């Protein structure tokens, strides 16, 4: 049994883009599980841009990360000790256990993972939050029909890279907007997108999008917001559907950013913009996971993961993620 639990806590509330010094590596005792709880050793930690928002302090909704708190994060790990009949030692589980090597949680908040069929990292990716978010967000919020054009911002991210592929499975044209030529290649050569646009490589995203969306845009799955979304909105077709999943371009903003008003465009296009959160589909997670597993088995859904080694690397990797330096699902592999 190890004696020390390494954790990463928030040292200061970041101002703008976080710095590594906004985080602190600390040591704490290994916690002991109480009744109904399990002690879990983290194997992989998921890094997510949306965690940045929680660092801004109290907000309308998401539970904030307070200064001194262990940073919030999803983990897949191994049960070391369980005081609940639902799980036993050596079970593989997934849960919101934070940026730390060991955590105790009520067993009922943990999801047991079948480690025999797929790599366990997939429980943080296609067979977890990103996969379910892509699945329900695209199908239930955006209702794509065969032959329609689906545009995805933040397309090379964990969610976006799956949205584009599910759009293809649904016989749509799938166009990804991303931030480097290398990511465009990942989308089109490895993940089967019909087209990709590097928004940093063009000073006329509008024309570039028109070129790769000759029939206009029927569905827009937005992970980014800001100028990118302003541009897409000007190209949507009648009855277009916009699903708002994330607004990563705004997460570092201290004040609301200003942008051109475009609600009139929604009238002209009889179009809809809808924000959503994965949790609203909780009753249907089983169905989603079944479908996503099927597509994985049939090789219709591919994934890209990037892994950094060791908890101390988490802050740097997280900042890199916010700067757009990663693609697919970014995880930290914990040291054994």
Longest dimension (CA), the chain: 64
**What does the block give as tokens for 218?**
């029927």
For residue 249, give the DSSP letter.
G
264 scored as a contact of its own copies (CB under 8 A): yes
Q: Would you say 225 or 315 has its CB closer to its own copies?
A: 225
Residue 96 or 266: the one with the smaller Cβ distance to its own copies is 266
Query: How many of the chain's residues bind its own copies (CB under 8 A)?
Result: 36
Q: Does residue 265 touch its own copies according to CB under 8 A?
A: yes
Distance from C-alpha of 43 to C-alpha of 121, rounded to nearest angstrom: 9
Q: Which is nearer to its own copies, 164 or 225 (CB)?
A: 225
Examine residue 244 and tell whether it contacts its own copies (CB under 8 A).
yes
Residue with tokens 């994330």: 246
What would the x/- binding string for its own copies be over residues 212 to 241, using CB under 8 A? ----------x--xx--x------------
What residues numbered 58-77 form the site for its own copies, per CB under 8 A? Answer: 59-62
Q: How far is the CB of 214 from its own copies (least distance, A)?
A: 17
Read off the DSSP letter of residue 141.
I
Q: Which three-class secondary structure state does DSSP give residue 142?
A: helix
**Site stretch for its own copies (CB under 8 A), options 144-152, 188-196, 200-208, 271-279:** 271-279
**Smallest gap from residue 204 Cβ to its own copies (A):** 17
Applying CB under 8 A, which of residues 29, 263, 290, 298 lies at the interface with its own copies? 263
106 vs 226, beta carbon nearer its own copies = 226
Which single residue is written with the structure tokens 């897949």? 76
Pick one of 56, 188, 250, 252: the residue that binds its own copies (CB under 8 A).
Answer: 250
* Among 125-133, 177-185, 270-278, 311-319, the segment contacting its own copies (CB under 8 A): 270-278
DSSP state for residue 333 in the 8-state scheme: E
Taking CB under 8 A as the criterion, the residue among 78, 112, 210, 272 binding its own copies is 272
- DSSP 8-state symbol, 199: G
Does the protein bind its own copies through residue 16 (CB under 8 A)? no
Does 254 bind its own copies (CB under 8 A)? Our answer is no
By C-alpha distance, which of 148, 151, 75, 132 is closest to 301? 132
Distance of CA 111 to the CA centre of its chain: 18
Rounded distance between C-alpha atoms, residue 4 and residue 10, angstroms = 19
Calculate helix-pair angle for 285-297, 129-136, nearest 10 degrees: 100
**Candidate list 54, 170, 269, 329; residue touching its own copies; CB under 8 A:** 269
- Per-position x/- string for 174-213, each x denoting binding to its own copies as judged by CB under 8 A, each - no binding: ----------------------------------------
Q: Which of 51, 123, 247, 293 binds its own copies (CB under 8 A)?
A: 247
Alpha-carbon distance of 103 to 128, in angstroms, equals 19
C-alpha to C-alpha distance for 226 and 29, rounded to whole angstroms:
43
Query: Rg (Cα) of the chain, in Å, rounded?
Result: 20
Identify the residue whose tokens are 């928004």. Answer: 199
Spell out the residues 6+ positions from residue 28 whose beta carbon is closer than 8 angstroms to its own: 4, 5, 7, 100
Interacting residues with its own copies (CB under 8 A) = 59-62, 222, 225-226, 229, 244-247, 250, 256-277, 280
């Amino acid at each position: 049994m190890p004696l020390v639990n390494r954790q990463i806590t928030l040292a200061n509330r970041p101002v703008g883009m976080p710095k590594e010094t906004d985080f602190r590596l600390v040591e704490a005792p290994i916690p002991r599980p109480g009744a109904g709880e399990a002690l879990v050793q983290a194997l992989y930690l998921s890094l997510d841009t949306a965690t940045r928002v929680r660092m801004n302090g109290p907000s309308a909704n998401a539970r904030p990360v307070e200064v001194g708190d262990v940073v919030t994060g999803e983990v897949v790990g191994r049960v070391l000790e369980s005081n609940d009949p639902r799980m036993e030692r050596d079970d593989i589980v997934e849960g919101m256990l934070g940026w730390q090597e060991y955590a105790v949680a009520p067993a009922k908040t943990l999801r047991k993972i079948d480690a025999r069929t797929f790599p366990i990292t997939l429980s943080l990716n296609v067979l977890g939050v990103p996969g379910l978010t892509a699945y329900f967000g695209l199908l239930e919020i955006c209702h794509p029909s065969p032959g329609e054009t689906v545009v995805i911002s933040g397309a090379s991210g964990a969610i976006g890279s799956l949205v584009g592929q599910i759009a293809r499975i649904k016989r749509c044209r799938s166009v990804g907007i991303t931030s480097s030529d290398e990511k465009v290649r990942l989308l089109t050569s490895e993940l089967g997108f019909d087209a990709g646009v590097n928004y940093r490589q063009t000073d006329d995203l509008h024309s570039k999008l028109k070129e790769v969306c000759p029939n206009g845009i029927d569905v827009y799955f937005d992970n980014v917001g800001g100028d990118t979304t302003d541009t897409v909105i000007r190209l949507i077709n009648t009855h277009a559907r916009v699903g708002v999943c994330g607004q990563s371009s705004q997460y570092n903003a201290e004040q609301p950013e200003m942008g051109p008003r475009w609600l009139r465009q929604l009238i002209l296009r009889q179009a809809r913009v809808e924000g959503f959160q994965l949790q609203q589909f909780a009753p249907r997670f089983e169905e989603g996971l079944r479908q996503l597993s099927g597509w994985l088995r049939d090789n219709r859904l591919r994934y890209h993961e990037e892994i950094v080694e060791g908890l101390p690397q988490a802050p740097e990797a997280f900042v890199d993620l916010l700067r757009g330096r990663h693609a697919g699902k970014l995880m930290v592999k914990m040291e054994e």
